[in-house]
Amino acid sequence: MTALGVGVVGCGVISEIYLSNAALFPQIELRAVADLNSDAARAKAEAHGVPAMTPAELMARDDIDIVLNLTIPAAHVEVGLAALEAGKHVYSEKPLAGSTADARRLVEAAEARGLRIGCAPDTFLGGAHQSARALLDAGRIGTPTAGTATLMLAGHERWHPNPDFYYAGPGAGPLFDMGPYYITAMVAMLGPVRRVSALAARGRDRRIIATGPRAGQSVPVETPTHVTGMLEFADGALVQIVTSFDVKAHGHAPLELYGTEGSLVIPDPNRFDGTVRLYGEDWQDQPTTHAHGDGNYRGLGLAEMATAIQAGTPHRASGALALHVLDVIETLLASAESGQAIDLKTTCERPAAMRPGGTIGDISAAEAA
């Protein structure tokens, strides 16, 4: 299989793990980096042995097949549309866009041009979550009936020197920040969501920065910081979700699934690794049966998309999946505001399972079927 050429637009903090991991995946080849900040692009280019250029120059290159969009969320649509217009496939950091309306523009533009849109998170493709998926598909908990998804923190101002974004109105807050990991993981397990209901609150009007040169300064809070909701899946399962920046400590697992014959505890969906626990007669730790479960493999979804492009098969971390997850997030917040349960406007296919075994970077065409 010939590697597809990848050009990175956006050389911020998140770019380093993608740039470093590119060498793990023979399906892709890093060929250029770009950023509006030429110094940032030049630093990453020198570190990884590729040329630095402007975004427009990168998109004009014939050897770039996929644009990896690592810009700030507010620029995801503009950069994505420009890449599609240039005839490139696009893989984006989450969220796909700031709204489902904008995300739909990207998905529809790609479909109209016969190009692919992919989007993080890709952690659900990792060894831990695929091992849990295999147990679920094998009927080890029977028919799934319910579950929980729990992300509760005390707030990013404890460690982030500039946490303003996390509290600054639409597109901010714990649900937009971390919800994509938890909701994507559950959709990958159970399929699409049919209806949601939610309540939301704002614990404080201001947050105090605890570290860095702005320590002691306060940040206004303009968005809900505690959202609790219910996801009704198309297959009938009911999953409770809580995302919060108002909780100092708790004892809940990140993800749990309950079925007619047993239960699963599933590791942190912001990671590729972790221990899956299964309850049948009692709790038992389960082996990791799939590759990419022993480290941080961000970029796995990009490599899997490259494999699927060449095989002519659907890719897993798809634009349709990202659009649906974004719709779930927006609809939860709309439900909290209206006090009503609301049906989803989108749906998606449940991503196909990865095959067990394999080695790091090994993503066969059969897996993408």
Domain map (residue ranges) of the chain: 4-119, 124-283+326-343
Tens digits of residue pLDDT in 31-40 = 999 999 999 9
Tell me the whole-structure pTM to 2 decimals.
Answer: 0.94
- Angle CA 63–68–69, to nearest 5: 130
Burial code of 303-318, b = ≥16 C-beta within 10 A, e = fewer?
A: bbbbbbbbbeeebbbb
Residue 72: what pLDDT?
86
Tens digits of residue pLDDT in 53-71 = 999 999 999 999 999 999 9
* Residues in the chain with pLDDT values less than 70: 1, 364-369
Residue 319: what pLDDT?
97
Taking the C-alpha atoms of residue 352 and residue 54, their distance in angstroms, rounded to an integer, is 36
Instruction: State the fold for domain 4-119.
Output: Rossmann fold (3.40.50)
Residue 212: what pLDDT?
92
CATH number corresponding to 124-283+326-343:
3.30.360.10
Residue 1: what pLDDT?
66
